[in-house]
Structure 1
Amino acid sequence: MKKITLYFMCMIYAFSFSQDIELETFATGFSSPVNVKHAGDDRLFVVERAGIIKILNANGSTNSTAFLNIDPLVINNGGEQGLLAMAFHPNYASNGFFYVNYINNSGDTVISRFTRSTADTADSGSELILMTISQPFGNHNGGDMHFGPNDGYLYISTGDGGSGGDPGNRAQNLGVLLGKMLRIDVDGTSNGNYGIPVDNPFVSNTAALDEIWAYGLRNPWKFSFDRNNGDMWIADVGQSNREEIDRVLASSSGGENYGWKCYEGNSVFDTAGCPPMNTLTFPVAEYAYGGSPFKCSITGGYRYRGTQQSSLDGLYFFADYCSDQIGVVRETSPDVFQLTFEDQFNGGFSAFAEDINGELYVVGLVSGTISRITDANLSIDDESFKSVKMYPNPSDSVLNFDATGTSIQINTITFYNILGKTIKTVTGFTDQSISISTKNMANGIYLVEISDINGNKDTRKLVVN
């Protein structure tokens, strides 16, 4: 018996694959949320820019009492300042430690540790400052933090210090912590309130700061780790030409130079005094600044590794803050990636979130809404043509097309191979439910175009093996 697997897709540009997604509202009422993390249980912790962290429960309710309120410590002039991120210690369940990244009232970055006091509250007086980084300008603060899944060290992304064009060339300067990915040992004390991992790439370089893991970044305000393999994905906001996505293999020993301000994405920006091009690490995906709708600032996300949306597996989700578009990067073959924008919504997306089960959420800075990302395929929920179901019959090599319960009448089914060549066309229907044999179709990937009697069309991917 042949195995038939179905995927939903839209037909764009000679059958390049796309994904139809929906945002399912999970919780509302947040004030400028910028970061969401889980603590190893089914709750989400929502970071608000003003300096407040709230607990979002698995049923979508929000605790009335804040988990942490450090508003007096945090500058809150809007823009790119404020409380930016948090990360839970790998042993949070036993030690109660978590870490925050905020801009203080002097305009500088502070990385500090707080301690849980009860299951639902933290002690706002327990702050232990690990480091303070001087910021020359009010923008490009970076700000995300994650513990490495394979090494337990804290990774911190920093921007180049702001203004435009990195006027201090800080991203390329190993003597400053700006424009970098940092890596520290929060359980160590060799550098005050933290330690330096002995295998950090520049510990033997007297001209470099020991905390630096990688450099040449402009404003990587969101990054994440792939929970399946430990790869790091960095979304780096561009200047006025390219927005880029970098992937760092879990096997990396660090030391990568991502090229800013020598290059913006794959495009030359200012190569004066820059190292050879072949020593730089270039993005696995990028897109152009500008256009219509206007794009200007990438918000990085996660590679989907949950279990509820199997058709999304392995897709890296991101958004553009200005256009409100959500896109994905898919690996079309080993180490070959394709970037596509999927859908446009509303909300001003500032972050993505991953819950304990690997399900993904997107965070609306402007709307104050946390929404769950779902696959929109194969559901009969309205009168649109997308409400047609296509599924394999238990008998061998038969597909059922079912629009029962809608006003849709299916007219034509056309099968194409992956190159767009017509394999089979079956027409003349005026029914809501039909069956078509695929018995003589060879194993492979096909595109199935469904048309109704009014000429509406939709396309789905069919895998036969």
Structure 2
Amino acid sequence: MKAPGKKSDSRVWLVWSLVLTAIFCLQGRLQAQDAQYGIEERIPWTTSKVQGSPDPALPYETERAFPQLKFNQPLVVATAPGMKRFFVAERKGKIFSFDYQDQGTSETELFLDLKQHVPELNEIYGMAFHPRFEENGYVYICYVLKPGLPEGTRVSRFKVQDANRLHCNPESEETLIEWLSGGHNGGCLRFGPDGYLYISTGDGGPASPPDIHNAGQDVSNLLSCVLRIDVDQRSQDLPYAIPVDNPFVKLPNVRPEIWAFGFRNPWKMCFDPKSGDLWVGDVGWELWELVYRVEKGGNYGWSIKEGRQPVKPGNQLGPTPILPPTIAHSHREARSITGGYFYGGTRLPDLKDTYIYGDYSTGKLWGLRYENQRVNWHQELANSTLKVTAFAIDDAGEVYIVDIEGGAFHRLAPIKESDHNPDFPTRLSQTGLFESTEKHQVAAGVIPYEINAPAWADYATAERFIALPPDTTIEVVQKRFWNFPKDTVLVKTISLETERGNPQTALRLETQLLHFNGARWQGYSYRWNEDQTDATLVPTEGDSIKLEITDAGHPDGKLNYEWRVSSRAECAVCHTPYQNYLSVLSFEEAQLNRERKFGDIVDNQLRALAHIKVLPESVWNESKGTKAHYLVDPHNTAAALNLRARSYLHANCRHCHRNNGGGGSTIELDASFDLEAMKAVGVTPTQGKFEILGAEVIAPGDPFRSVLLYRMSKLGKGRMPYSGSSIVDVEGTRLIQEWIERLPTRPHELQFEIARQRNRQVNLLEDAIQIEDQDFSGQKLQEVLGTTSGGLMLLNALDRQPMSEDTQKQIVRLATQGENPLVRDLFERFLPEDQRVKRLGQNIDHRALLSLPGDSREGKRLFMEMAGLQCRNCHRVHQHGKELGPDLTQIGKKLSRQELLENIIEPSKKIDEKYFTCVVELRSGKVVSGLLVRRDDAGVVLKDAKNELLEIPVQDVETVVMQKKSLMPDQLLRDLTAEQAAHLLAYLESLK
């Protein structure tokens, strides 16, 4: 800019003077601030002391095979008889081949561009060459068109060119078989030792809700199956034949192609070259990843079960009983299983005859050996960073791993440079992170930071720090995706007051480290000693800390509390192994964008972190915009209610409830999503309605129909948050309840019935609170407690409405002594610990329960009087009870104690045909069920679970289906104590 001349107005000089003075003052202020921050220059810090792993190394690592080759999202690898080549199908339609004998090869040959031939193709999922390929030149390809097409997943036969067998003739396509396309298509093709083609199919649905077509047990279609067809023969109507020994060829209304069924998304299968057994990796849903040794006619449970976990227990069972998984991996170690092959090579002799498989999400690889009808060896082999979508095997039996993200082949190799570090610091003081562990004073270069919305952790608080290697900065890949430098460490020290409300009693419980080794985040926890001078590394399986907490608000005034220190595997559940903002959770723009005190200066934390080059300047510059994404303290009442509630859900729930987060439902609780994108508001829950009329995940305007609030408010099974907490966050539930109340209401198909029930409960509750007569008010309260929504209403009244102490005690007594566990779970927190029920739950230890002595007289009382069991309403013993189910007068003579227990836990496993459940769908759309009493030209008569007759005129009947399922609910014992269950078994055993 041109300087002012002599004739310039003196006022211009004055303005310039003021501007320059302001600039110099601002620079001085920033420099002064930097000095007070203690961050004028970031002090270098190295993480060498925490490099590697404290745990013994796994026996293998992965190494790159064919390092000169790279493909674009490879999904399928096949081999052709007579050729020593791999044929690699890329996701979007191109198939290449290369010579697998040459590890240094860089040459590939285009076998087929199927996308060019079929423009509407979305993905290739499977490929197999005919066993007599050398004679006939046939190759079979499974590909998928857009989702939702009735015939959108297709298996076609192609023929190679006569002149060049490395090129396929696209015009030779002949479609053999088709089924519904969707999120789960299966699509794996394998020729068995019998020469027949085996085809896997998925349930045709998305990740969630589970099995939207109810295809898992429906054998009238091709979904959720392994099919077996003869491609060398033709039938009258089909371009293939059905082998005569297929298991269901003679059953009416069953697709004869089915070899086995009940799979969710069988992703890659193979045959054991020695036994001929078929092995399948099946992608799980909420809790489990599954591996099956598949039997002829086998039913593998989906979607009645996911492994052993009930999902839709009310669905009609298929034609054969459910078989258990051969291997089930918890979602704590796997998220998307990929089936593999049996190793037959010579390079790794210790793995001879081992079935090798892996997981797409975690990169873990396992091996198992199966003999004499059981798995006799199973071990994790390697912990890779690969996204495993396929395996390959050559003619020598060498197994390769295919990484879709890197587009490369890998293989197992004995570990050369173990990441096991025998000198890994076993005490926090040895990590170099702290100048003084006793004073909890971090070393120079370890930078403290604060977040907007801490997660609820049973009143615990946390101090947070980050350390980056010298001369490094976090890189922004996308707006909310950050890449962290190798050897970044995040630190969190968790403290808990042993006297609620008294900060002087706070004890440091653990310090957690997240170390980024350049490929994945590794989590470690150090448990503080009683003197609070140092902390010791906990074992890989985790630890627990038992404390006695003084709490004036607790019924006892004190409580025995156990803090769980997570295992290394549990750390990886939330802190995923990949390098983005979801790995570190709290170190993100939305959490860091806040004012913070630096000495005597208050400034924006992002600006400070950008100034010292922890973050790039772009993060700070963009955050100043009006559309910046940020969170707030959920308990800051000065902030907007919607922002507070969304911040709470973001901090506590979104790490699981997000795409591929591991949560069972597909709701999105990240605060950046709008209400519709959350897929939770006004949405029917997929994981149970808890007997709530008109239940929705979030019922706008009606918190008492909102399953999200119910789960937050309860103790016991189904409580949320799933991990990291065992105490209800009362303030948090109030916040979410108030937020739901303020959401605009939406119409519901049951709104009149809901309104009628709610008005009745409100009137009863008002009467009960106002009237001092305990007997009268007790009757009113009992009716309110008759529903889960009523229980939530009463819980809200206890927390927010004025009432006498006697009324409060009466509500708690009636709720906790009632027989409805769904309501009891809401009020158990008001009881002293020794009065809380220790329930069996779903995972019952049969052996331990059978070893308990029981009192048959007490068991008789439970049988006859305990409403939660309702045994007397369905079964008759001598002259007592009703005759809906079998007469139990001589049941102890027919069944052993163990058989009695098995029949109670799984009542549908062995069931007389006359006790099958009859399901009637009415023309109105309503569905009723019960035991079939009569069916004739006049209609259908059922006896329902209340032992009442339902007469349905024929003109109202749409369909009638008989289910091989008992009216008696599964897991009837789960809400009993072990002692109660033992008493009941003793009584039944005595009936001889």
- How high is the TM-score relative to the length of structure 2? 0.34
3-state SS in 1 of match to 2:135: helix
Structure 1 match to 2:818:
none
Taking structure 1 as reference, are residues 385 and 323 closer, same or farther at Cα in structure 2, changes over 3 Å only?
A: closer
Q: Is the 8 A contact 2:98 2:109 kept in 1?
A: no
Alignment of 1:3-42 (within 5 A): 19-27=59-67, 28-40=69-81, 41-42=83-84
2:176 to 121, 125, 130: 130
Structure 1 residue 310 corresponds to structure 2 residue 349:
yes
Taking structure 1 as reference, are residues 384 and 344 closer, same or farther at Cα in structure 2, changes over 3 Å only?
A: closer
The CA distance in 2 between the partners of 1:238 and 1:384, in whole Å, is 30
Taking structure 1 as reference, are residues 223 and 75 closer, same or farther at Cα in structure 2, changes over 3 Å only?
A: farther
Alignment of 1:40-439 (within 5 A): 40=81, 41-57=83-99, 58-60=101-103, 61=105, 63-72=107-116, 73=118, 75=120, 82-105=123-146, 108-117=152-161, 118-135=164-181, 137=182, 139-149=183-193, 151-163=194-206, 164=208, 165-190=210-235, 191-248=237-294, 252=295, 254-275=296-317, 279-290=321-332, 295-331=334-370, 335-376=374-415
The CA distance in 2 between the partners of 1:331 and 1:198, in whole Å, is 29
The CA distance in 1 between the partners of 2:412 and 2:225, in whole Å, is 30
Query: How far has the Cα of 1:18 moved from its partner?
Result: 6.0
Query: How far has the Cα of 1:290 moved from its partner?
Result: 3.9
Taking structure 1 as reference, are residues 110 and 62 closer, same or farther at Cα in structure 2, changes over 3 Å only?
A: farther
The CA distance in 2 between the partners of 1:384 and 1:219, in whole Å, is 34
The CA distance in 1 between the partners of 2:386 and 2:119, in whole Å, is 24
3-state SS in 2 of match to 1:358: coil
Letter of the 2:218 partner, please give it.
N
Q: Is the 8 A contact 2:84 2:394 kept in 1?
A: yes
The CA distance in 2 between the partners of 1:231 and 1:49, in whole Å, is 28
Aligned length: 356
Query: How far has the Cα of 1:241 moved from its partner?
Result: 0.5
The CA distance in 2 between the partners of 1:265 and 1:189, in whole Å, is 37
Structure with more helix by fraction: 2
Letter of the 2:410 partner, please give it.
S
Q: Is the 8 A contact 1:299 1:320 kept in 2?
A: yes
Taking structure 1 as reference, are residues 333 and 185 closer, same or farther at Cα in structure 2, changes over 3 Å only?
A: closer
The CA distance in 2 between the partners of 1:186 and 1:155, in whole Å, is 10
The CA distance in 1 between the partners of 2:170 and 2:129, in whole Å, is 16
Letter of the 1:184 partner, please give it.
I
3-state SS in 2 of match to 1:67: strand
Taking structure 1 as reference, are residues 167 and 337 closer, same or farther at Cα in structure 2, changes over 3 Å only?
A: farther
Query: How far has the Cα of 1:331 moved from its partner?
Result: 4.0
Q: Is the 8 A contact 1:74 1:82 kept in 2?
A: no
Structure 2, unpaired ranges of 5+: 1-52, 422-992
The CA distance in 2 between the partners of 1:18 and 1:356, in whole Å, is 27
Query: How far has the Cα of 1:193 moved from its partner?
Result: 1.4
The CA distance in 1 between the partners of 2:417 and 2:245, in whole Å, is 56
Taking structure 1 as reference, are residues 11 and 90 closer, same or farther at Cα in structure 2, changes over 3 Å only?
A: farther
Q: Is the 8 A contact 1:36 1:352 kept in 2?
A: yes
- When structure 1 is superposed on structure 2, of 19-28 and 155-164 the one drifting more is 19-28
The CA distance in 1 between the partners of 2:205 and 2:299, in whole Å, is 19
The CA distance in 2 between the partners of 1:325 and 1:157, in whole Å, is 23
The CA distance in 1 between the partners of 2:260 and 2:108, in whole Å, is 40
Query: How far has the Cα of 1:314 moved from its partner?
Result: 2.3
3-state SS in 2 of match to 1:66: strand
| Per-residue Cα deviation, 1:155-190 (whole angstroms, up to 9, x for no partner) | 000001112210221010011100000001111110
Q: Is the 8 A contact 1:37 1:355 kept in 2?
A: no
- How high is the TM-score relative to the length of structure 1? 0.71
Q: Is the 8 A contact 1:75 1:82 kept in 2?
A: no
Q: Is the 8 A contact 2:62 2:410 kept in 1?
A: no
The CA distance in 1 between the partners of 2:212 and 2:171, in whole Å, is 38
| Per-residue Cα deviation, 1:36-72 (whole angstroms, up to 9, x for no partner) | 1111232111111111111121214354441111113
Q: Which has the higher contact order (CA 8 A, sep 6+)?
A: 1
| Per-residue Cα deviation, 1:369-419 (whole angstroms, up to 9, x for no partner) | 01133344xxxx669899xxxxxxxxxxxxxxxxxxxxxxxxxxxxxxxxx
Q: What percent of counterpart residues are identical? A: 35
Letter of the 2:361 partner, please give it.
C
Q: Is the 8 A contact 1:82 1:103 kept in 2?
A: yes
Structure 2 match to 1:458:
none
The CA distance in 2 between the partners of 1:19 and 1:281, in whole Å, is 32
Structure 1, unpaired ranges of 5+: 1-9, 387-465
| Per-residue Cα deviation, 1:69-118 (whole angstroms, up to 9, x for no partner) | 11132656xxxx50111000010011100100000257510100110111
The CA distance in 2 between the partners of 1:29 and 1:55, in whole Å, is 12
The CA distance in 1 between the partners of 2:317 and 2:274, in whole Å, is 34
Letter of the 1:265 partner, please give it.
G
3-state SS in 2 of match to 1:182: strand
The CA distance in 2 between the partners of 1:287 and 1:105, in whole Å, is 31
The CA distance in 1 between the partners of 2:320 and 2:158, in whole Å, is 42
The CA distance in 2 between the partners of 1:287 and 1:12, in whole Å, is 21
Q: What value does the CA root-mean-square deviation take over the aligned residues?
A: 2.7
Q: Is the 8 A contact 1:228 1:305 kept in 2?
A: no
3-state SS in 1 of match to 2:134: helix
3-state SS in 2 of match to 1:221: strand
The CA distance in 1 between the partners of 2:286 and 2:119, in whole Å, is 29
Taking structure 1 as reference, are residues 62 and 101 closer, same or farther at Cα in structure 2, changes over 3 Å only?
A: farther
3-state SS in 2 of match to 1:323: coil
The CA distance in 2 between the partners of 1:184 and 1:277, in whole Å, is 20
Taking structure 1 as reference, are residues 183 and 11 closer, same or farther at Cα in structure 2, changes over 3 Å only?
A: farther
The CA distance in 2 between the partners of 1:206 and 1:93, in whole Å, is 39
The CA distance in 1 between the partners of 2:187 and 2:318, in whole Å, is 29
The CA distance in 1 between the partners of 2:390 and 2:92, in whole Å, is 16
Query: How far has the Cα of 1:341 moved from its partner?
Result: 2.8
| Per-residue Cα deviation, 1:279-302 (whole angstroms, up to 9, x for no partner) | 2111111111145xxx31001101
3-state SS in 2 of match to 1:53: strand
3-state SS in 2 of match to 1:279: coil
Taking structure 1 as reference, are residues 339 and 162 closer, same or farther at Cα in structure 2, changes over 3 Å only?
A: farther
Letter of the 1:115 partner, please give it.
K
Q: Is the 8 A contact 1:37 1:45 kept in 2?
A: yes
Query: How far has the Cα of 1:269 moved from its partner?
Result: 1.8
Taking structure 1 as reference, are residues 75 and 225 closer, same or farther at Cα in structure 2, changes over 3 Å only?
A: farther
Query: How far has the Cα of 1:271 moved from its partner?
Result: 1.3
Query: How far has the Cα of 1:26 moved from its partner?
Result: 2.1
